[in-house]
Amino acid sequence: MRSDKTVDEKSGQWGEASQGDRLALSRALLSIMKDGVFFADRGLRIRYANHAFVMSTSLDSFVDEPPTLNQLYPEPMNDRPLANARAALESVGYWSGELTRSRESSRPSVEEIRLSLAPEASAACAPIDGPCYVGVVRDVTDEREALERLAWTRNHDELTGLPNRTLFAAAIDSVIKRSDAESSCLVVVIADLDDFKRYNTDFGHDCGDLLLRAAGKRVAATVRAGDICARTAGDEFGVLMPVRSSDESHEAAARVQAAFGEPISLDGKSFGLRASLGVAVWPRDGANATELLAAADVALQACKDAGRNGITQFNEDLYRDRRGRTALETDLRAAIDAGLLFVHYQPVVRVSSGEIESVEALVRWDDPIRGDVAPESFIPLAEETGLIIRLGELVMRAACRQGGAWTRSDSASLKVAVNVSPVQLERPEFPSMIAEVLETTGLSPERLIVEITESVLLERLDDAALGIARLKSLGVSLSVDDFGTGYSSLSYLKNLPIDMVKIDRDFIKDIETSNAAREIVSGIIALAHRMNLSVVAEGVEAAEQYYLLKSMDCDFAQGFLFSHALPPLELEGRYLSRGTGSRYSSFLLRR
């Protein structure tokens, strides 16, 4: 039903109806409030308080006379805020701030208080003429703890308790501001744990976390008092150390490296950690934290590129090399996108007959500006940046497509070998990709040889064994490439479904002049044959090497003696297309 009464009439009606119970209603509202509410006189003596304030302050314990706020909050740190409160109330009639109160059973509470002038209550609460103030109190201890925790988390690593990279950079800048560039130096060390991922993979992330925590404690215990330690990334630690001159920087870094010298014991197991260290010095290598950390990172990467587990000092040549690698990465990515990489094929010859048994697919890059880029320049970069996944699939598809084309020609039995990266081998979907490529291109599995570098097997034997078993289930042949560079023993292959080994060229190049090299190569061939493995000798460049390998009953040979890697059409024209007689060229070298 529509009412024609005005708002003022309604307001008066409600006010008149509640006038008698106004005090009771106010008391009821105050009694259920979680925040404390009180009225105080000019001296900030409490004249009335609700239940929440009484319980939080033990107000009932003051029996002689009502207490003042100074008595309720007697801690010395409250003296200045309460003095400020009195001054503000006298001048503007309002004050807001925080007071701290001790508690016996836990940490002190922090309470937010707002005081304001309440003229309408003056007659009720002031014993003499004077102002009356109403106060509202809220316990913000949990909020402050949460904010402090958040602030700590923003600047520290939860796992180790060390400062994070943000706080570490701020500390570097702060120390620089207080330092004299003419009389002191600062050393920034970034230490990255080598191949730490394998601990997470092999033993679980809980074990990895325990190792990182232990490593952080080791670093913090090794450096001097006053040095600053931080966890700057997942498996990376940073240390800032003041020194007298840049000549002391290597010694300072060696102290950090010493933290990883002894194995870490966890649950009865011993874990040996190794680290690569990059070192930068202020003011020589940078004027602020950003520049110093960038310089240390460049030196760290150079250390890893040089073989890891060492110390590398930053210099401008490293920076130029890094910029060159960045530019090379950009160009490589563009070349893959534009299809500027292509595959050449190098013959692998059966030693006993000289006939071509297979070809190895080798990627080539002819850049419009750089010209021919050596594979040893861009393949490691592709592995480092992850581009090897796309590049490796590109080579696999091209090689299998070409092999499929040869299937439909007179070269139906020619095998194609493709070298795969450890990054590819680690990916669970890699065998599925090869299966799809074989089906798409029409190449039968028995004509594909997948070459795996020996170092992959040695570093990650358990994981590699699983990947190798999956590949073998496809029906392809498996070969160990660069054999002898890492272990020089065939014993670790006895439980792997390997079909052949390729002896590294470093052994072959010396067999003409070195008895030791001949003994090694002869021993590898004999032992491989006892294990029913075929042997390929890489890097054969001289006829005498060929004769020696033939006398050792080596199965296959590959190298410049027979041919460089060639485009497929040129390979066909030279060696595969024969009008009469053998389908392939025969390299029957005679003395």
Q: Which residue has the higher pLDDT, 26 or 465?
A: 465
Selection from 218, 18, 36, 285 nearest residue 138 by Cα: 36
Mean pLDDT computed over 429-453:
93
The average confidence (pLDDT) of the chain is: 85
Helix (H) or strand (E) holding 480: strand 477-483
| pLDDT at residue number 491 | 62
pLDDT for 14 equals 42
Residue 370: per-residue pLDDT: 83
Phi, psi of 425 (to 5 degrees): -65, -30
Q: Is the pLDDT of residue 482 over 70?
A: yes
Give CA separation, 250 vs 242, 247, 310, in Å.
13, 7, 11
Nearest to 444 by CA among 479, 474, 478: 474
Position 296 pLDDT exceeds 50:
yes
Strands in 292-398 per DSSP E: 311-313, 341-350, 356-367, 371-373
Distances (CA, A) of 492 to 465, 486, 559: 11, 12, 27
pLDDT greater at residue 108 or residue 459: 108
Query: Is residue 310 pLDDT above 60, yes or no?
Result: yes
Cα distance between residue 47 and residue 59, in whole Å: 11
Tell me: pLDDT of 109 over 70: yes
Indicate whether 281 pLDDT > 80: yes
Residue 583 has pLDDT above 50, yes or no: no
CA distance 217 to 236: 13
- The listed range with the strongest mean pLDDT (97-106, 286-295, 420-429) is 286-295
Sorting pLDDT into bands at 50, 70 and 90, what band is 13?
very low
Asked whether the predicted pLDDT for residue 28 surpasses 80, the reply is no
Helix H or strand E segment including 100: strand 94-101
Structural contact between residues 233 and 160, judged by C-beta atoms closer than 8 angstroms? no
CA–CA distance, 545 with 510 (Å, rounded to integer)? 9
Which of 16-30, 54-68, 560-574 comes out lowest in average pLDDT? 16-30
Q: What is the pLDDT of residue 335?
A: 92
Poorest-pLDDT segment among 99-113, 246-260, 344-358, 475-489: 475-489
Is the pLDDT confidence value at 565 over 60?
yes
Q: Are 221 and 274 in contact (CB under 8 A)?
A: no
What is the rounded average pLDDT of the residues 434-455? 91
Indicate if the pLDDT at residue 283 is higher than 60: yes
Mean pLDDT of 321-340: 87
Residue-wise DSSP of 558-575: -STTT---B-HHHHIIII
Which of 18-27, 149-158, 229-238, 323-332 is predicted least confidently? 18-27
Q: Domains in the chain and their CATH numbers?
A: 24-146 (3.30.450.20), 156-314 (3.30.70.270), 324-576 (3.20.20.450)
At 121, is the pLDDT very low, low, confident or very high (cuts 50, 70, 90)? low
Residue 158 tokens read as: 């939860």
* Cα–Cα distance, 477 to 556 (Å, whole number): 15
Q: Quote the pTM value.
A: 0.57
Q: Quick check: 139 pLDDT over 60?
A: yes
| DSSP 3-state of 98 | strand
Residue 236 has pLDDT above 90, yes or no: yes
Which of these ranges, 120-124, 172-176, 432-436, 583-587, has the smallest mean pLDDT? 583-587
Distance CA 39, CA 45 (A): 8
DSSP H or E run through 243: strand 236-243
Residue 183's SS3 state is coil
Alpha-carbon torsion 329, 334, 336, 341, what sign?
A: negative
Calpha distance 298→312 (Å, rounded) = 9
* CA separation, residue 308 to residues 189, 192, 283, 311, 383 (Å): 15, 9, 26, 8, 16
- What are the start-end ranges of the H helices in 339-480? 375-385, 388-407, 422-425, 430-441, 454-459, 461-472
User: What pLDDT is attached to residue 454?
Assistant: 74
Average pLDDT rounded to a whole number, residues 97-119: 86
Residue 485 banded pLDDT, cuts 50, 70, 90:
low
Of 425, 486, 427, nearest to 450 (Cα)? 425
Question: What's the whole-number mean pLDDT along residues 370-382?
Answer: 88
Q: What is the mean pLDDT of residues 418-446?
A: 91
176 vs 165, 231, 370, CA distance in Å?
A: 16, 20, 42
Give the mean model confidence (pLDDT) for residues 445-463: 77
